[in-house]
Every structure is written in structure tokens, then in C-alpha cells.
Structure 1
Amino acid sequence: MTKITLITGASRGLGRNTALSVARRGGDVIVTYHSRSADAQAVVAEVQALGRKAVALQLDTGAVATFPAFAAQLRSALHTTWQRDSFDHLVNNAGHGEFAPFASTTEAQFDGLVNVHLKGVFFLTQALLPLLADGGRIVNFSSGLTRLNYPGFAAYAAMKGAVEVLTGYLAKELGARGIAVNTVAPGAIETDFGGGAVRDNAAMNQHIAQITALGRVGVPDDIGPMVASLLSEDNRWVNAQRIEVSGGQGI
């Protein structure tokens, strides 16, 4: 049976790359988007061009009250497109960055990160558990910033650190259902994340390349294929792990 992977925040960046990587390995995809409907539909078209099925669903991962309605919409999409009542893989990727020194980080910035990166991941996963197939996979995106400390990312990194702890607990509590749960922690990647700072700031890009063992900054194609591989049966015994994908940044 073809595996179905739901990827949050898949209209661009690492989510988009993960969706395409899953499709290239023979999987079908459900992409969620916050506001970029046209971009999400473009990803659906790209997946379909690879011969796989895909649908796009709107989701605000920071709005917990909407999750029951989203779960119902997902159930309907599964029935309509796949004639199934479950999906196989959940990739919690959606997120945003806040660059602010610790001393000037506002409560609003902090709460926004909590809602999307921690509270959203916690309660969306909870809401979708009845639809997640036994023997399935969950991948939570973290960041290399939980290991390397860069000024300006204290709040963001704190949320990702909490997600890494949550991953271990999910692996423990969902193990009876055969569900493996892991964290993927990308290093600095050239995307539009954080306003495209890593991609567009030449000085920052050069600095990161200099402290990375493989001598360059990462690109989305370094991440999506790795996640798709982690979801496969090739890695069925990998569980409760934090896997950094950074090219050896800061070692």
C-alpha cells in the first residue's frame, strides 16, 4: 500500500522539498499551508507530475482551536482521494523565525513562537493521532540552534529544545502502536526563512561555510531527501533520536 505523508508548512522551503522528496520515493503527500494557497497548489502539481497523488489543506498551526475541524477535513480528504481512513507519516515542519536579542524579545514574539513551534506541534499531533496509522512515523523539525548558541535566537531555540524533549516522550508513549518518532535538526539552510538571511546575507553565508566541515551552507536538497529516507522502512529501527543534518556545522 502506498504511504501517505502529511507535511505541515509545505508550500515552500524545507516542507516543499520534503514533499517532493517523498513523492520521488513513491509516496503520496498531503501538504498544509497557512496563507500561500497558490504556492501549495504548485507543490501539489509538482507531486502529481511525478506520478503521485497530493492534496493541499489550509492550516494555521498556531491556532489550536481549529485542529478538530482540520482533522475532520483531513478525514474527508483521505476518504475522497485515497479511500482510506488513515495516513502513515506526520512531519511537523511549519514554523517561523524571530530574530531578537534576549534582552529585547517581546512577550508577543515569545508567545507567537510557543503557539506555532511547541503548543501547535503538541496539540496537532494529539488531534491527528486517531488518523495516524499504527506502525507510522512522526518527524518533528528542530534546529541546529539547540546545539550551537547564536545571539538573537534564544526564544526560537528554546521552543525547538522543548520539541526535542517532546519527541522522546512521544516515542515512549506511542511505541505500543509501533509509531517511531524522531527529530530532524537542520543546520543553516539557504531558504527564505528568517527573511532569507542565510541565503541573502553574503557575510553570514560565508561565516557559516567557514565553520562547517563540508565547507558550505546547506540547501533544501540536503534536507528533504534525508527526511524521506527516515520515513522509509530502511530506517524502521531509528526511534527517539535527534538527527542533526548540518554538514558538520560548528564541530
Structure 2
Amino acid sequence: MTDIRIALVTGGNRGLGRAAVAALAADGLDVVLTYRRHEDEAAEVVAQVEALGRRAVALRLDTADLADVEGFAARLVDALRGTWSRTTFDVLVNNAGHAVPTPLGGTTADDLQRLFDVHVRGVFLLTQALAPLLADGGRVVNVSSGLARFVQPGDHSAYGAMKAAVEALTRYWAVELGGRGVTVNVVAPGPVATDFGGGAVRDAAGLRDALGAQAALGRVGEAADIGPVVAAVASPALGWVTGQRIEASGGTRL
């Protein structure tokens, strides 16, 4: 059995996913990262991981595309065999996501479907497909949002509801996979200054200051604040922690 641990991070080419890849690699893991678009960004992340002395592979995956999800396990096995001479991996980070405003009275069925396809159906079916490849004693880290707990202006009701569903799945999966020694936890970031949702938290100084004032630590988060949290939850040291929600929000709305 190899001592190398391998993590798979969906949406690992930018934002929180990219920060998670960097933190996992810094902790000594090799990484498979997925991207939907921006192959150039994925290549940059691979190069950054390799600069840390680790190995990385980038695979395209659209978690909203059923055929893509259903065929991904086979493509992952090919990558694992070709790069690591393995057919299993150790850490699954379900990070890929997007946001659209969903005001009551101004939201279409297509808006809801798009959110559901990525954040609930995609997370469920991908985890289901990859669970047989996850090594016993492995880790599943689902990425949720502080918006599943606290309510912010900005028409995020459906997004918050989808993330609440992910948190419920986390608890159920912790029980279902616990017999294999696999832990399943959820990391819920608060407001973070990335390009997510159009980059509003990153780019609008007034919004950033207002949200930061709600945090005990007095600022919004950066991607570099969240990546190490994901890596910590994925580490062997947290093997007795499962079915838990870890909010990384700087103490927002305590």
C-alpha cells in the first residue's frame, strides 16, 4: 500500500477550490482537480502543485451534466492508474458550484434547476459514483455556505436551501460510509472575497466592509483562509470527527 494520499477537488481551477488544492498539496497530498471551463487556469494549478513537489492531474468535469458525471469514474480510474498505478483515492472534496439570484417572485424554474443540478444532484451522483473508489479510512469534505445558517440580503434563498441539503446529505453519508472508516464532514465558508457570484464580495468595498463588520474577526474571508480548513478536515488527525458542520466564517453573526 502506498503512503501517498490522493485528493480529488471539484472546481479546483479557481477560488476556494484552487485554495483547497494548494493547501492539500502543502500538506503532502497529490491532487486530481476538475474544471468545467478555463483549462488554462487548471494547468496553472497543476504547475503550482508540481512546484511543491507533488503530482497533479486536471480533468474536465461538468457536475451538472449527467453523462459527464456518469462517465467520470472511468476517466478518474484511468488517471489514477496512469499517474499513480492505483485505482483508489483518499479524499473527495465536493467544491464545484455557482450562484444565481433567486428573489421570490422573480425566479424561474430553470434557475432552480441549474442550482439543484450542480449543488444537490451533481454532488449526490458524483459521490455515489466515486464512493467505491474511495479508499477505506478516506475523507469526504463537502463545501456548503454560511448562507445555510444566516440570512443575508441579496436573493440567496435557493442557494442557501441547496447548501442546507448538502449539509443533510453529509450527516446521512457519515452513517452510510462510517463502517468503512470514511469520515464525511462539511465546511461552510462565510463571505469570501473571490470571483464567486460575480465577485461582489471581492470587488465592492462597501459590501465587503459591511459583511466584515458582522464577523467577530472584523473582516471577510480570503480563499487562503478556507483552503487550510478543508485540508485540516481531510487530514488523518481528524479521523474521529464525522457528520459535522465546520463553519469558517470568522465568527459571522455569532
TM-score with structure 2 length normalisation? 0.97
Is the CA contact 2:69–2:122 (under 8 Å) kept in the aligned structure 1?
A: no
Q: Deviation string for 1:96-117 (max 9, x for gaps)?
A: 0112312211111110000000
1:235 corresponds in structure 2 to: 238
Give the whole-Å Cα distance in 2 for the aligned partners of 1:164 and 1:64.
Answer: 22
Query: Aligned-pair distance for 1:250?
Result: 1.1
1:94 is displaced (CA, Å) by 0.1
Q: How far does residue 240 in structure 1 lie from its aligned partner after superposition?
A: 0.2
Q: Look up the equivalent residue of 1:55 and give its one-letter code.
A: V
Instruction: Give 1:81-230 correspondences, 5 Å limit.
Output: 81-151=83-153, 152-230=155-233
Q: Specify which of 14, 18, 25 is matched with residue 12 of structure 1.
A: 14
Q: Deviations over 1:8-55 (max 9, x none)?
A: 000000000000100111110000000111100110000000000000
2:34 maps to a residue whose letter is: T
User: What CA distance in whole angstroms lies between the structure 1 residues aligned with 2:169 and 2:104?
Assistant: 24
- Paired residue secondary structure (1:228): helix
The 5 Å alignment of 1:46-57 reads: 46-57=48-59
- Counterpart of 1:228, as a letter, is A
TM-superposed CA distance for 1:132, in Å, is 0.8
Deviations 1:163-217 (A, max 9, x none): 0000000000111111100010000000000000001111110101111110011
Bigger shift: 225-234 or 186-195?
A: 225-234
Give the Å deviation of 1:67.
2.0
Moved over 4 A (4+): none
**Aligned-partner residue type, residue 11 of structure 2:** G
Whether the 8 Å contact between 2:174 and 2:184 is mirrored in structure 1 is yes
Aligned to 1:67: 69
Please say if residues 144 and 185 of structure 1, whose CA atoms lie closer than 8 Å, have aligned partners that are also in contact.
yes
Instruction: Kindly state the Cα deviation for residue 226 of structure 1 after the two structures are TM-superposed.
Output: 1.1
Matched residues in 1 for 2:69 and 2:193: separation? 31
**Offset of residue 2 of structure 1:** 1.1
1:69 Cα deviation from its structure 2 partner: 1.7
> Contact between 1:64 and 1:124, CA under 8 Å: does it hold in 2?
no
CA distance in structure 2 between the aligned counterparts of 1:39 and 1:65, rounded to whole angstroms = 24
C-alpha RMSD of matched pairs (Å) = 0.8
Which residue in 2 is equivalent to 1:44?
46
Structure 2: which 5+ residue stretches go unaligned? none
Counterpart contact for 1:210–1:216, Cα < 8 Å: yes
